[in-house]
Amino acid sequence: MSFGQRLQEIRDGFERPFWVANVSEIFERLSYYGAFSSLAVYLQEKLNFSTEQTGTLTGIFGGMVWFLAIFGGAIADKLGFRRALSMAYLILAAAYFLIGSIGASWLAPVRAAVPLSLFVGCILILPALGIALVKPSVVGTTARASKENVRSIGYSIYYTMVNIGGTAGPFVADWAHTHFGLEWVFRISALSVFAMFFFVLFFFRDPRKPGDVPPPSLIQVARNFRAVLWPPRFLIFLLIFTGYWIVFWQQYTSLPGFIHSYVNADAHVELILITDAAVVVCRILAHPVILANGSGCDFFHRRAGSGRNHSAAALLRLHIASGASRPARHVHGVCVSADWNRLAHRRLVWWTRDAPLRRSRAPSRTRVVDHQWCRFRNSNLAFDLRSNRQPIGAAGTFVNSMDLQEEG
């Protein structure tokens, strides 16, 4: 598929709510990561919390976002995405404004009446109430406002918007911190999401489809939640996976204080925290195939004088190996599902060679042993490509490497 055809497919495949929701997601992420990148320094240097208290409070700010998202999806389904997004951006605007105003004189009576750590902890929970509604609403809109053939691209666009906001947020936070002070980081975050309240109110409409089922009742939501918790296999997987996120979020909870205390007290930590999201965005821009969720099939070079297009790399590489205890005498075949809009009007060719596993360069005696020809239409197709009988490797181990390639 040519680049122009791909653009036309994207233009026709998404409804307006998709673009409105994803543009608003940029500014929501800008406000969140902007606030989060300055929060630890704000708590420690402006409000005089200890390192341990700062870690606990920033953990509350980040952790409650993802915990409350469990319930945010059910609420968003009940309210509708337009109401949920509008309410979320109002809550976020108020929450970020309050965070930036913790040290303000008009909140002095509250600070005197309540322990400061409790007061700050309660305020830091407020953004989670808004974000818990934003996430399911934007993801749900991405699913409903995109056609089937571009839905996977829609999720890639959503992920890209998240990282664009994650890159811009710390940059804006550093600018506000440098020119106006730490408090203004949170006030600018508040302005960002407050503008999105009006953007959604004026331009967003709930995407509807003829086959949409009514949202589940609260009893059904409770049953679904119980199904996630028991049997506990999936819950154990989630608990194991949280280990990664515990380490990941230290860049926001612990790294700013560490840099200011032990490296450079004047360092611009917000700019340092751009790195993660900026790397993701640069990789997407450098590899359009990732954004398009393609398999590399749109990228060919023309061999001089041949008049034919040849794939620059294998679409799918299969490494097959059987241990000595269960030797394999031959390969019976591999079934490959091909999406019609990825490999339209092209031929799949089965290549096989005897080679050590993890061999990076194909030997000169590569040969075609079987292929199938088909023109794709409007449905997925499965190819069952069978290879010839293959010899046993050393010590009774079958080792073979196969590339599924595409030829014009």
Q: Give the tens place of pLDDT for each residue, 314-349.
A: 444 444 444 444 443 334 444 444 443 444 334 444
* Cis, peptide link before residue 232, omega less than 30° from 0: no
- Model pLDDT for residues 151-205, shown as the tens digit of each residue: 888 888 999 999 999 999 999 999 999 999 999 999 999 999 999 999 999 999 9
Q: Pick the more confident residue, 54 or 11.
A: 54
- Residue 402 near residue 320 (C-beta atoms within 8 A): yes
The Cα 47–Cα 120 span in angstroms is 10
Tell me which amino acid residue 356 is: P
Q: What is the mean pLDDT of the chain?
A: 75
Long-range contacts of 341-344 (CB under 8 A, 24+ apart): 341/1, 341/9, 341/149, 341/376, 342/294, 342/295, 342/297, 343/295, 343/297, 343/315, 343/376, 343/406, 344/1, 344/375, 344/376
Average pLDDT of the residues in 368-391: 41
Q: Which residues contact 336 (CB under 8 A, 6 or more apart)?
A: 316, 348, 382, 383, 385, 404
Residue 297: predicted pLDDT: 37
Tokens, residue 92? 């976020």
- pLDDT exceeding 90 applies to what percent of the chain? 39
Residue 211: predicted pLDDT: 66
- Residue 41 near residue 182 (C-beta atoms within 8 A): yes
Task: Using alpha carbons, select from 92, 100, 97, 93 the residue that is nearest to residue 72.
Answer: 92
Mean pLDDT: which of 217-231, 235-249, 277-291, 386-400 is highest?
235-249
State whether residue 56 is helix, strand or coil: helix
Q: How far is CA 370 from CA 102, 200, 330, in A?
A: 70, 54, 15
pTM comes to: 0.70
Residue 27: predicted pLDDT: 96
- Residue 161 near residue 23 (C-beta atoms within 8 A): yes
Least confident of 81-85, 102-106, 326-330: 326-330
Asked whether residue 306 carries a pLDDT value surpassing 50, the answer given is: no
Tokens, residue 174? 């550093």
- Residue 384 near residue 335 (C-beta atoms within 8 A): yes
Q: Which residues contact 62 (CB under 8 A, 6 or more apart)?
A: 36, 249, 252, 253
Residue 287: predicted pLDDT: 63
Q: How far is CA 358 from CA 36, 158, 325, in A?
A: 42, 34, 21
Residue 292: predicted pLDDT: 43
Residue 317: predicted pLDDT: 47
- Model pLDDT for residues 237-274, shown as the tens digit of each residue: 888 888 888 888 899 989 999 999 899 989 999 999 99
- Residue 88 near residue 150 (C-beta atoms within 8 A): no
- Residue 92 near residue 31 (C-beta atoms within 8 A): yes
Q: Pick the more confident residue, 347 or 27.
A: 27
* Confidence at 304, pLDDT banded by 50, 70, 90: very low
